[in-house]
Amino acid sequence: MAQLTDDCFAFGGPLMSVEEAVALIGARLPTLSERETVPLAEADGRIAAEDLHAEIDLPPFMNSAVDGYAVRFSDLAEAGETLLPVRGRLAAGASAEAIAAAGAAVRIFTGAPMPGDADTVFMQEDVRVAGDQVGLPPGLKRGANCRPAGEDLARGAVAIPAGRRLTPQDLALAAAVGLDTLPVRRRLRVAIFSTGNELAEPGARLPPGAIHDSNRILLAALLRRLGAEVSDLGILRDDPAALRARLPEAARSHDLILTSGGVSTGEEDHVKGAVEASGRLVFWRLAIKPGRPVAMGVIAGTPFIGLPGNPVAVYVTLLFVVRPILARLGGADYAPPLPQPVRSAFAYKKKTGRREYVRVSLRRGEDGIVEAVKYPRDGAGVITSLTGSDGLLELADAASGLSVGDVVSFHPHALLW
């Protein structure tokens, strides 16, 4: 695809919306087919490779939800107190096989199996104990304080659907229904490079004109949180020969290559040429701010994404452009993160035709309503705007800005990865 020039953009040349870009690239990308089986304890964050079914009812047997007395509802008087003899005692883990509740109240504790004929439990706080009898008040419904077998999940039902990124809660459910290993997709192997002659490693002494590379560590940490296996391949100098050699080499052993820097249209931006030398560049400019210059392509059959150089643009494009692509490649379900409504404490103008992410913090307004306050500095290179904000406001492509008091769409940082 021909590169659009800055001029073309200035005259309203075609920008691709984030949705279009993600749909287009998603439709062309294959999903990894490899899978592996991992123990439950190692499955957090992995992608379920198939629907996982409950092997047993959950709970496996009808049991008491409280400490109290199990009875047959049919033994209770229609009005007034019922006095029943206390017979038997069932603690959690006990067997109820030999115990019948007919004509009696069975002392029972939370999690203990219900006697086969009992269907209702009185909480111990609600009864009147009189010697070896117990007085049961009227008004309780049949089935109260009982947990029937399979009420949480029936045997054979889907406990975890294919494509789900497993959470600690999923692991708890899997354990409860009898699973001890889970089939998951293989982790995506992602290679990351930084590009730029000005970059030095963190900790290195800075020669004149140099800055520390902060993008690679940002990308590596975010990608790992998103479940990828990351190969940190270091810094590439702005040297066309080096780029042309290293990119195809990385393509051979990875599922995705990510670079940052070097993809706008400046004279020193060599990534585009290097990709085109060994593959194809699919498109170039996204209607997103920060982050407009994003290069996507294919190198020796492996997808390539060239992110912008500025750290805030790297953050935004990784989470809103790369993340859905990672999901597609890795076989994970993806739905765009659902923003939360908050009130804006500031007015803001933007260009229409592109989506914009604004760094904000939350505070409680005088009337108690949560409102968003803009981070005071805007630049896409301002790293403290990422550490000093609570999240990002998402302003729609068509919006021309916002006014004080508008309800706006807020993404907390922590819900984005």
Distance CA 172, CA 166 (A): 10
Pick between residue 127 and residue 316 the one whose CB is nearest to ligand AMP: 316
For the bound state, the minimum distance from the C-beta of residue 271 to ligand AMP, rounded and expressed in Å, comes to 8
Min dist. Cβ of residue 314 to ligand AMP (A): 8
What is the contact surface with ligand AMP in residues (CB under 6 A)? 194, 196, 198-199, 211, 213-216, 260-262, 264, 266, 308-311, 381
Shortest distance, position 219 Cβ to ligand AMP, whole Å: 9
Strand ranges for 286-376 from DSSP E: 288-289, 293-299, 302-307, 340-344, 348-349, 355-364, 370-374
Summarize as ranges the residues that interact with Mg ion (CB under 5 A): 196, 261-262, 309
Rounded least distance, CB 215 to Mg ion, Å: 10
Residue with Cβ nearer Mg ion (19 or 268): 268
Question: What kind and span of H or E run contains 215?
Answer: helix 215-225
Residue 198 near which of ligand AMP, Mg ion, none (CB within 5-8 Å, type-dependent): ligand AMP
Half-sphere exposure of 218 (CA within 13 A, CB side): 23
Nearer to ligand AMP, 235 or 345 (CB): 235
Using the Cα atoms of residue 301, residue 23, residue 341 and residue 361 in order, give the sign of their dihedral.
Answer: positive
Cα dihedral 34/38/44/49 (nearest 10): 40
Element (H, E) at 409: strand 407-412
311 binds, among ligand AMP, Mg ion, none (CB under 5 to 8 A by kind): ligand AMP
Please measure the distance between the N-terminal and C-terminal CA atoms of the chain and give it in whole angstroms.
31
Give the separation between CA 123 and CA 140, rounded to whole angstroms. Answer: 10
| 393 bridge partner residues | 358, 410
Q: By C-beta, is 196 or 227 nearer to Mg ion?
A: 196
Give me the residue whose beta carbon is nearest to ligand AMP. Answer: 309
Name the minimum Å distance from CB 260 to ligand AMP: 5
**Quick one: what does residue 68 bind among ligand AMP, Mg ion, none, with the CB cut-off 5 to 8 Å set by partner type?**
none
Of residues 183 and 381, the one with the C-beta less far from ligand AMP: 381
Contacted by 214, from Mg ion, ligand AMP, none: CB < 5 to 8 Å by type: ligand AMP
Question: For ligand AMP, which is the closer residue by CB, 227 or 308?
Answer: 308
Q: How far is the CB of 360 from ligand AMP (least distance, A)?
A: 22
State the chain's maximal CA–CA distance in angstroms: 94
Q: Residue 59 carries which DSSP code?
A: S
